[in-house]
Chain A
Amino acid sequence: MTMLADNISLHLSGFDLLRNVSIEVEAGKVTAIVGPNGAGKSSLLKVLTGEMEPTKGSVSLNQQPLSQWRPQQKAQMLAVLPQHSILNFPFTANEVVGLGRIPHQTGSIKDGQIVAEALELVDASYLQKRFYTQMSGGEKQRVQLARVLAQIWQPCELGKQFLVLDEPTSAFDLSHQKLTLDIVRSLADRGVGVVMVIHDLNLASRCADNLVVFNGGTIEAIGSPEAVLTEQLIDKVFEVKSIIARHPVSKKPLVIT
């Protein structure tokens, strides 16, 4: 059970945004995508989630072409957290997270429980009745995270579930960065396939089973963080001199610049 992009290319108004990219997101694993700005990371997420049609190649979800799932079925298996959200209507946090239950018919009592639990999980219970429009950037992002978590809160009978996160930690302080990575890990342990774009290489190294390094619209390297993160690669992709050390406790690669 996977989310699979098979040899996809994406051309848009004369630009090659993606060139022959193949990537497999396995259920129960965390896949992190890193790469310089404009490398095509977000474009890849858009193609993977069906928001854009690839010019060439195909995308499938649980062994079936993505476009053949009905919208509601797809939403039961695949939740997507965008980088920015433009919500400017005064929903409360409870209501925003409740939107994540739209694809499901579980009834308002069950949904209410899930909403409360999801907010609790992202340390945002105190926001329940507060207006989204009056929250700080980090609070908004946590509420949005709770929304996508609520969307895949219970296992789905159609197939494995996947969570796509575009820079989920960008607005977070240290403790909420760690909280997010812990949530991502526990989701993967529950069998959810997680794919996320992340800029902090050390965060990526700490949480990813699979690290994908993107550069110029194509995959530069793919594999475990230990195998992928080398001084040569970081110099080549980011043009930054670095030293790769080992984390004293987790033994994961630690990028020092």
Chain B
Amino acid sequence: MRRFSASGLISALTIVLPVVSLISMTVGTVSISLGELFAADNSQVNTILFDIRLPRILLAICVGAVLSSTGAVMQGLFRNSLADPSLIGVSSGASVGASLTIVAAGGLITSGALLGLSLVAVGAFVGGFVATLLVYRLATSDIGTSVTTMLLAGIAIAAIAGALNSLLTYFSDNDMLRQISLWQMGNLSGASWTKVAIMAAVVVLLLSLFPRDSHGLNALLLGESEARHLGVDVQAVKRRLILLTALGVGVCVALAGLVGFVGLIIPHIVRLAIGPDHRWLIPASALAGATLLVIADSLARIVVVPAELPTGILTALLGAPFFFALLLQQRKQV
């Protein structure tokens, strides 16, 4: 295994991300050349660029950054490079919340909007947060939070959520069914400037608070008691990081549905490239996740023109083969 320099990767991604985003501005059902991009005076082109594509790209950047950075944090916290943010129950809870809202609110969904956000988003966020709190409570006793119990509780919550989801789909009509399954595939097409503003605030919050616990996460990789002996307040670190992850992923799922795989593979790949030091891993994962999601979303817009695919399908289709390749490579090395 050879490592790349962390600062090198971060600088490279800082250049690649804007370039990819710029290209992404030009593609879609209506193709707009780079020249038109800068000299756009046509109001129709302007609308496409600044009311549809730009918020969508910015949303992709924010969602990608949050999912990947929280993925890196969860993998560190659980000391397992195959953990992802959904392990703490937030995704399963959110999907139940969303399905419940779709079924309960029925026809209200399309018309009723709260602060420009759909009711489904609120339902998903509440569901995700409640599930995480439940998992965290279950796993926390007088002697601290047991990571193993959290993993198991997360699995149990996912099972319950799966059952509830099936139950809800059973009672749904055709229209609701389509909404539920579209939501579960993850989609960035509903981007608006309000959503971008909320997501951006979450990105700023997370990326400014995570560095504080980078050392703690590094120490935790040695084991909990080792981290304690290195002066890390393990319980406080866990509480902070789980709360921030639940918030970040909750908002992501609420605004963009279930975009799978980004939170799992991006931190994993970045770790293979630059090593497990969280001081670099978290920002590099955020940048890489943002880049991947912009690429995936651009593809989602052009592969089946004039229609478009849900983004979540593309992230899995792009990510999974890459992951297979990594596993094969690792197998050779052992």
Interface residues, chain A, CB within 8 Å of chain B? 49-51, 71-76, 78-80, 82, 85-92, 95-96, 99-100, 102-103, 131, 151
B223 touching A86, Cβ below 8 Å:
yes
Give chain B's interface secondary structure class: loop
Query: B residues within 8 A CB of A74?
Result: 231
**Contact status of A72 and B231, CB under 8 A, knowing A95-B277, A99-B218, A102-B219:** yes
Report how many A-B pairs have Cβ atoms within 8 Å.
Answer: 68
- A96–B218 Cα gap in the complex (Å)? 9
Interface centre among B218, B229, B233, B276, by most A CB within 10 Å?
B229
Nearest CB of A to B44, in Å: 52
Min C-beta distance of B218 to chain A, whole Å: 6
Number of B interface residues at 8 Å Cβ cutoff, please give it.
Answer: 21
B48 at interface by CB-CB < 8 Å: no
Say whether B47 faces chain A, with CB atoms less than 8 Å apart: no
Instruction: Jot down 21 A-B pairs with beta carbons below 8 A, ordered by A.
Output: A73-B231, A75-B229, A78-B229, A79-B229, A80-B225, A80-B226, A80-B229, A82-B223, A85-B222, A85-B226, A89-B276, A90-B1, A90-B275, A90-B276, A91-B221, A96-B222, A99-B222, A102-B215, A102-B218, A102-B231, A102-B232
Q: Which residues of B contact A151 (CB under 8 A)?
A: 230
Enumerate B253-299 residues with CB–CB distance to A below 8 Å: 271, 275-277
A88-B229 contact in complex given A82-B223, A99-B219, A102-B215, C-beta closer than 8 Å: no
16 A-B pairs besides A99-B222, A102-B231 with CB distance below 8 A are A49-B229, A71-B233, A72-B231, A74-B231, A76-B231, A79-B229, A80-B229, A86-B222, A87-B221, A91-B276, A95-B276, A99-B219, A99-B230, A102-B219, A102-B230, A102-B232
What's the minimum C-beta distance from B133 to chain A, rounded to whole angstroms?
A: 26
B239 at the interface (CB under 8 A from A): no
From A86, A89, A131, give the contact of B81 (CB < 8 A): A89
Q: Are B271 and A89 in contact (CB under 8 A)?
A: yes
**Contact of A100 with B230 in the complex, beta carbons under 8 Å:** yes
Q: In the assembled complex, which residues on chain A have CB atoms less than 8 Å from the CB atom of B231?
A: 71-76, 102-103
A51 touches B218 (CB 8 A): no
Least distance between A75 CB and chain B CB atoms (Å):
3
Give the nearest-CB partner of A86 in chain B: B223
- By beta carbon, the residue of chain B nearest A75 is B231
**Residues on A with beta carbons closer than 8 Å to the beta carbon of B221:** 87, 89, 91
Question: Given A51-B228, A79-B229: A88 and B79 within 8 A (CB)?
Answer: yes
Q: Is the CB of B223 within 8 A of A75?
A: no
Residues of A within 8 Å of B1, CB to CB, are 90, 131
Q: Which residues of B contact A (CB under 8 A)?
A: 1, 79, 81, 215, 218-219, 221-223, 225-226, 228-233, 271, 275-277
Contact B79–A89 (Cβ < 8 Å): yes
B147 → A minimal CB distance (Å)? 12
Q: Which residues of B contact A99 (CB under 8 A)?
A: 218-219, 222, 230
Which chain A residues lie closer than 8 Å to B218 at the CB level? 95, 99, 102
CB distance from A111 to the nearest CB of B (A): 12
Please state if A92 and B275 are interface contacts (CB–CB under 8 Å). yes
Bound-state CA distance A91–B220 (Å) is 13
Interface centre among B81, B222, B223, B232 (most CB of A within 10 A): B222
Residue of A nearest to B272 (CB): A90
Residues of A within 8 A of B271 (CB): 89-90
Q: Which of B79, B219, B276 has the most CB of A within 10 A?
A: B276
CB-nearest residue of chain A relative to B333?
A134
A96: B residues at CB distance < 8 A: 222
CB atoms of A71 and B219 under 8 A apart: no
A208 to B277, CA, bound (A): 38
Bound CA–CA A86/B1 (angstroms): 21
The contact of B275 among A78, A95, A102, by CB within 8 Å, is A95
Instruction: Select which of B225, B275, B276, B277 is within 8 A of A82 by beta carbon.
Output: B225
Contacts of B79 in A (CB 8 A): 86, 88-89
Residue numbers in A under 8 Å from B232 (CB-CB): 71, 102
Closest to A52 in B: B143
Report the separation of the CA atoms of residues A50 and B228 in the bound assembly, to the nearest whole angstrom: 9
A-B interface, 5 closest residue pairs, ranked by CB to CB distance from nearest: A75-B231, A72-B231, A103-B231, A89-B276, A80-B229
Q: Which B residues touch A88, using CB under 8 A? A: 79
**How distant is A169 from chain B, measured CB to nearest CB, in Å?**
19
Residues of A within 8 A of B276 (CB): 89-91, 95
A74 and B81 CA atoms in complex are apart in Å by 30
A200–B233 Cα gap in the complex (Å)? Answer: 35
Assess the A87–B275 pair: CB atoms within 8 A: no
B35 to A: closest C-beta gap in Å: 46
Chain A residues, CB < 8 A from B225: 51, 80, 82
**Contact partner of B230 among A73, A85, A95, A103, CB < 8 A?**
A103
Query: When A71-B231, A103-B230 are in contact, do A91 and B275 touch as well, CB less than 8 Å?
Result: yes
In the bound complex, CA of A209 to CA of B228 (Å): 29
